[in-house]
Structure 1
Amino acid sequence: MTDRLPLLSAQLAFGLDAQRSGRRGTVTMLLRTPASRLSTEDVRQVLRSVVLRNPALSYRIRFSRGEAYAEWCPDECDFAEVHAASEESVPECQTEIVEEFEASLDGPAMAARLIRSPEGDNLLLVLDHALVDEQSMLLIKRQLAAPSEPDERQRDRYKAAIIDRKASEEAAGSGPGVTFWAERLERAGEFDRVPGRTTRVIPIESFPSVAVPPSFRGSLFPYVLFSIHRALRDVAEPGPGVIGYPWGGRNAAYADVVGCFMNTVVSLDPPGSRQAPDAPGDFVRSWYREVDHADVPFTTVTGLGSTFSGSVTAMLSYTHAGAPTVDVAGVPAVEVTARDSRPPEVCKLLAGVTVRGEELRLRLLLDEEIAGYGAREFGARWRHWLTTAISSLPERKP
């Protein structure tokens, strides 16, 4: 009998999105070294080790006869060496590779390409988001340093992690959090229904960093959410504002297991929200109430009978800057930020924030044809509200 595992909430959501759009959701990583520093064979051995030590990379998302599941389909690592005419042509080559991967719904969970140009070596990893979340990408990044022997117990641990997470989701999907979200969605009012659309690859905009005041204490994350909501109000987004963002929650016992154990949580901003001086504080208190119920699966929230279908106004990616270099088969490499990408079909824009030291770096992926407003216009309002929110807090006494 074929080895099958049940799908977790995020896996099901990503899988259904892929079936509807004909494109898989992906997470990517591009690592660069000086020219001719990476050995093709050394990189191949490291990537082969990554596939063998992480069972998630040998599963495929399947839909058959009304049933959704992950099927065990072990295969060799999908790796090849390609050549670019110059370093300037690497982004175009990267886009073509990612596009091909996304369109191959039955393809492997990971593809890797060593893109060589006269100026540098670029290792591109593309992974199926339904099988690998952002936290798992950090694990894979550390595994690139050197090959290691596969541990036969890892497959059983992966299965145990899936079963453990599934049980947690089922408990949360029938607990008090369901009532909380049902009432919160009902109070928010009528949600816009975003029609299906084909997105396109567009440039990613960057904005001046926002300095974090030395007196600031606590989490910056809810203030980032607040600033995006306020910027959306400024550009005249109608209806309730909805921002989706990934939230962890995996059992600490499986913290070293690669997989997709995340949940998507929504931040709601009902129409008529105040913009008084104390509005950031009110919003943050409301956000903490939402986070108390962040374990309710996103697929459960979208099925609560409200007009919320799962389409969000924006998606937020919030990360902390990692080490300046990544070890790839013994060679130090620098992680390169993508210049362009394709926005998710479930939202109008993707906002990215990286915390680096005492500053917040802002990036924005917004299709102006779909949104109806400009990326620079929105970015300016976003930066204004974020600067205002984190600078106007009263200084805490020591």
Structure 2
Amino acid sequence: MKSSTITRPFYFLWTTQTAANAADVLYIMALTVLVLNQTESLVSAAFTPLMRSGAQILSGLIAPLMVNRFKLPALLFLSQTGQFLLFVCLAVYLQLNENDSSLVLVFALIFIMSFLDGWTVPTRNALVPRLVAHEQGLLKANSLISVSDQVVQFAGWGMSGVIVAWLGAGNALLLTAVIYGIAAALTLGIKEPAEVASVHRQTEALPEKNTTAPLSSKWHTLTEGWIMIWRIPRLRLLTLMELIDMLGGSVWVGAFTLAFVQTALGQSEKWWGFINAAYFAGTVSGGLLVLALARSIGSRYLAAMLIGMAGYSILTVFYSLNTQPVIALILALLMGPFAELSIVNRRTLIQRSVAQERLPNVLSAQASLLHLTFCISLLLMALLAELFGIVNLYLFASGLTLLALGVGLIGYRSFPNETAPGAASD
């Protein structure tokens, strides 16, 4: 088998996650319209993404128990099928009671769906190393996933707005239910290799798991990922870098980019759309670039990640100090490839920093941390924008990326040969 081989089950995983992400974008748009029409309150509409993040934080905390009980493909199927069934209930309820629907019930269903959704990303990222072969295959697989994620974000919001306006919010929700159903059905094609399943059966049969008292065993399962992040130097370093970077990452949320366009560039919402499109186009091209450079990058993931962070940070400084809209457009386009170079290689490093059977617990712990950090970042960046202005906000975000870069350079010795502990040699 060639080192760059990507298996058929991976393509099922890639397709189901792309469909699920597209459904997420469409349903958030449709629900936002419904909530705004019913309440005429921006606070109520803003509550939806905040509640989703809260549910996903809680979900990540208990995900290790689910991973310990179910195989990863089965857990993904459970998550996607549960979301599909709940969404059918939500869509039918809103279709029958669009103007008189109970927001308490609607938000309760959203919370449960988001809770189930909290298992999908760590499960997906833990499955990827099991479904591809060796070095370049893993980097290429992560690049493909990143490209599809960005395409959905880039095209999804614009297309979902058109779909909601054309079909109406209620019918758009029914369409979303169909897409969720397709995503759930596609998970049936995700099969772990026989040798991987054998390793997990042996892991489950370890004496300490059978002799430990039930309560302490569950506590060990819940905390294992957190303990590994703390005890393994490279995992601790990568997690710290990602958290620092995430604190500044919310500056690309729509409200902040709109404020920058209006205040710093003196342009209308039209240029806001142009710059958003340029940034996402840059991230898509960046994912494709990493895919093309997989052979050249080889196993130099850390160096590639640090180059991406450095380029992204420098371009953000120029972007924040610039006042010309055309130059801002070019800079936003150029930021994308550097951002993807950093993100894809960091994800690959994390996947290779721990043995595969322990990876889901580590990724679940990291997911909870990142969701919490993003919520904090939104509140912090809003406060800083009010106090110091939108230009200084982008400079501050660039400084955070530089700080994360500095942490990576200081901890470079944690990556002597970038080989996962406990992983099989190539």
TM-score tier by shorter-chain length is under 0.3
The structure whose RCO (Cα within 8 Å, separation 6+) is larger is 2
Report which of the two has the higher share of helix.
2
TM-score (norm 1): 0.28
TM-score (norm 2): 0.27
